[in-house]
Amino acid sequence: MSTFILRTTKTGLATVVRCPQICARRPTAPGRMVRTALVGSNAPSALSHSILCPSLTIPSRRWLSNQRTRQNVSSAALAATAPPTTHSSESISLSYVKGPTDVPLLETTIGATFDQQVAKYGQELAVVVSHENVRLTYAELGQQVDQVARALYDHGLRHGDRLGVFMPNNLAWMVLQYATSKLGVILTTINPGYRLQELEHALNLVECKALVLTPTFLTSNYISMTQELFPELRNCEPGDLQSARVPSLKSIFVVENPLDPSTTEWRSVPGYIDYHSLLSTPVSADSASTLSNPAIQPSDVINIQFTSGTTGSPKAAALTHRNILNNGYLVGKGLGYTPQDRLCCPVPLYHCVGLVLGNLGCMTHGAAVVFPSMVFNAEETLKAIEKEKCTSLYGVPTMFIDEMAHPDIVKYDLSSLRTGIMAGSPCPIEVMKEALVKLHMNEVLIAYGMTETSPVSFITNRVDSLEKRVATVGQALPHVEAKVVHPETREILTLGQEGELCTRGFGVMAQYWNDPESTSKSIDQDGWMYTGDLAAFDQEGYCRIVGRTKDMIIRGGENISPVEIENFLFKHPKVENILVVGVPDKKFGEQVCACVIPTNAQDPFTVEEIRDFCQGKLAHFKIPKYAITMETFPKTVTGKIKRNDLRDIATEQLGLRS
């Protein structure tokens, strides 16, 4: 039996190399075999391939830690330490892959890396905030970051304290991200769509010491909300809040948009602090030493992000410097970022895509970030791309659909675009094809991940075929291991079988904050993160996401993937967007329902047309029994579809609620 190594040629094409006899028998812990993979690449980027070895079993975390340090190892070194295993004629390929390790991880902190980039790229553009009319170079941004860090220190913020950010995209967001990283203060990102009860829960769960917010966001009035939650603000000194409902909270800073100071009632409440005063307030001599605190380590938690909460109560994922700095760096490297690149980032900063892939992905390569609007707006995004000559664009597929469907898109020169990321949900092939033509994004990548993995664990390559970029989520990110297991037994599956995707590596979060029970359910003793997503690997190590374990439709014992049906129906010219959910059925348990946004509201896509379109092309049990027409889908602020809400809407409209 031979072992195979995937290598990528200079043209980006994967080849399979037969490597006989690199493994032999070796004793292991009782009842456990070990599995490893060799790494080799002459690919055009570090994200071009992952390794898949048949006939081996998975290495234990203890074995790996004994064989190599957390620093990267070369291909030769890894080959030299590979644990041999018995080969037999009955051996079969298993679903296990590992990303390349030839690019070293950054074993430093976010604050230290930011200082290095400011020194290196001081006169290069760092950030543009269109709706605030702001443009800053790295040197100018660095000055603001240091001033705010020292001012926060003088307001009592210390290493390990938590500071909550409750606002849409603005310059203060980015400044606070780097200022807190230099202090070792844990930046806690709070969904700006939260209501009072959700805000109270989030603040108490992580015991925030300070909160930064804007006066309003869309229909929410944060000043009214916080005065209801903290009536003590009316009678306290700034920075000395004594709250009965959130005892840990001491300071609330308000970020007012200088171009729109329409909400000023907060200024008459003594407990609030003007964020902009931090930029001009004299700082103490003691605060200078905080900007290079040697106590801050790469393994320290520096960011807490709440899970989206589309199912169940949101949990607080605790992420370290090492987690998110390296994720941003490696994804930026895969995108080919340089100081000449400008990213148009309409996604929210409270989410990992904006905070990590946006800010950190650009900062680690000296590129610039452009925020086109406070909240996603298709036209403002198109304007910013043209004005700033952006080379990259991020978004979930629904954002790209809105941008490309904008009636004035032909008026904008978008030819500067070359790359970007689609993430958050599967990308239909027709959307990808349209992006290549209308948005000129020939190098657009598909990324897969989750908040708990910082976020990306799989990503396509800039030279991947169109088919690979829509049918898969790419290959494992460098230094990331992944396997597919049976959802119930957790036994690793044969290559190509569908099961639950698990990942392991630098990106896996430290913990769910103050929730050891949930942490232990999601991360096993060997460090594997159980994603809850159904996936399968192919022979080249590409990962195909089938759906969520909870999204799977079970009709009469048949497991049905909604994504498969969605991708097929998206080809029909009457479909602008489509999602498939399971609805209750007395006989089969569940039936398939297609929720359709038609290209023409006056000409809906009927269930009869759907059945005709599917006949002979999909298995009979996958063909939707029901179809409903919708104007829009329920979404989170980040654009993620709330499938549970959609399922409830469909059930209600069809009169199937028992």
User: Minimal CA–CA distance to 94: which of 543, 478, 539?
Assistant: 539
Which one has a higher pLDDT value, 414 or 26?
414
Q: What is the pLDDT of residue 576?
A: 92
User: To which H or E segment does residue 419 belong?
Assistant: strand 419-422
Count CB-CB contacts under 10 A for residue 242.
Answer: 12
Q: What is the pLDDT of residues 517-543, one digit of tens each?
A: 999 999 999 999 999 888 999 999 999
506, two tokens: 């630098």
Residues 387 and 528 in one domain: no
CA distances from 594 to 402, 561, 598, 626 (A): 20, 13, 12, 6
Rg, the chain, Cα only: 25
User: Minimal CA–CA distance to 513: which of 263, 315, 259?
Assistant: 315
- DSSP assignment, residue 492? B
Strands (E), 610-651: 626-629
- List alpha helices for 417-476, DSSP H: 429-438, 466-471
* Residue 448 domain flag: yes
Task: Report the C-alpha gap between 448 and 455 in whole angstroms.
Answer: 8
Q: What is the pLDDT of residue 52?
A: 53
What phi, psi does 435 have (nearest 5°)? Answer: -65, -35
Residues 580 and 529 in one domain: no
Residues 582 and 523 in one domain: no
Q: What is the pLDDT of residue 293?
A: 83
- DSSP assignment, residue 351? S
Q: For residue 561, what is the domain's CATH number?
A: 3.30.300.30
Residues 573 and 511 in one domain: no
* Residue 637 domain flag: yes
* Residue 465 domain flag: no
User: Minimal CA–CA distance to 444: which of 430, 456, 462, 428?
Assistant: 462
Judge whether 625 and 614 are in contact, CB under 8 Å. Answer: no
Residues 597 and 488 in one domain: no
Tell me what the mean pLDDT of segment 107-128 comes to: 98
Above 70 in pLDDT, residue 32?
A: no
Judge whether 345 and 127 are in contact, CB under 8 Å. Answer: no
What phi, psi does 646 have (nearest 5°)? Answer: -65, -40
Q: 541's torsion region: left (phi>0), alpha (psi -120 to 50) or beta?
A: left
Q: What is the pLDDT of residues 541-557, one digit of tens each?
A: 999 988 777 777 878 66
Residues 516 and 626 in one domain: no
* Residue 442 domain flag: yes
Instruction: State the pLDDT confidence band at 657, using cuts at 50, 70 and 90.
Output: confident
Instruction: State the pLDDT confidence band at 4, using cuts at 50, 70 and 90.
Output: very low
Task: Report the C-alpha gap between 147 and 129 in whole angstroms.
Answer: 20
Count CB-CB contacts under 10 A for residue 641.
Answer: 21
Tell me what the mean pLDDT of segment 457-477 comes to: 94
User: Minimal CA–CA distance to 566: which of 445, 347, 378, 397?
Assistant: 397
Q: What is the pLDDT of residue 53?
A: 43
Count CB-CB contacts under 10 A for residue 413.
Answer: 12
Of the listed ranges 162-166, 386-390, 463-467, the one predicted with least confidence: 463-467
User: To which H or E segment does residue 540 belong?
Assistant: none
Query: How many structural domains comprise the chain?
Result: 3
Residues 509 and 591 in one domain: no
Tell me what the mean pLDDT of segment 13-28 comes to: 30
Q: What is the pLDDT of residue 91?
A: 37
Q: 459, 487, 511 — which closes off a domain?
A: 459
DSSP code per residue over 437-457: HHS--TEEEEEEE-GGGSSEE
CA distances from 413 to 125, 399, 653 (A): 21, 18, 43
Q: What is the pLDDT of residue 557?
A: 60
User: Domain containing 233: what range?
Assistant: 110-286+299-459
Q: What is the pLDDT of residues 584-598, one digit of tens each?
A: 988 777 899 999 999
Name residue 400's amino acid.
Answer: F
Q: What is the pLDDT of residue 57?
A: 36
List beta partners, residue 650: none
Q: 459, 489, 523 — which closes off a domain?
A: 459
127, two tokens: 């950030």
Q: What is the pLDDT of residues 194-230, one digit of tens each?
A: 888 889 989 999 999 999 999 999 888 999 999 999 9
Judge whether 593 and 580 are in contact, CB under 8 Å. Answer: yes
Percent of the chain residues past pLDDT 70, beyond the cut: 83
- Residues comprising the chain, all counted: 658
Q: What is the pLDDT of residue 559?
A: 66
66, two tokens: 């004994």
Q: 407, 425, 459 — which closes off a domain?
A: 459
CA distances from 178 to 43, 148, 271, 328 (A): 33, 9, 25, 14
Residues 644 and 496 in one domain: no
Q: What is the pLDDT of residues 292-335, one digit of tens each?
A: 788 999 999 999 999 854 344 578 999 999 999 999 999 999 99
Residues 557 and 538 in one domain: no
Above 70 in pLDDT, residue 157?
A: yes
Residues 506 and 436 in one domain: no
Reduce the DSSP state of residue 324 to 3 states and report it. Answer: helix
Residues 444 and 561 in one domain: no
Instruction: State the pLDDT confidence band at 33, using cuts at 50, 70 and 90.
Output: very low
- Most confident option among 25-29, 383-387, 645-649: 383-387
Residues 324 and 394 in one domain: yes
525, two tokens: 């003793």
- DSSP assignment, residue 445? E
Above 50 in pLDDT, residue 84?
A: no
* Residue 396 domain flag: yes
Task: Report the C-alpha gap between 534 and 520 in whole angstroms.
Answer: 20
Above 70 in pLDDT, residue 351?
A: yes
Averaged confidence pLDDT in the chain:
84
DSSP code per residue over 117-145: HHHHSTTSEEEEEGGGTEEEEHHHHHHHH
* Residue 643 domain flag: yes
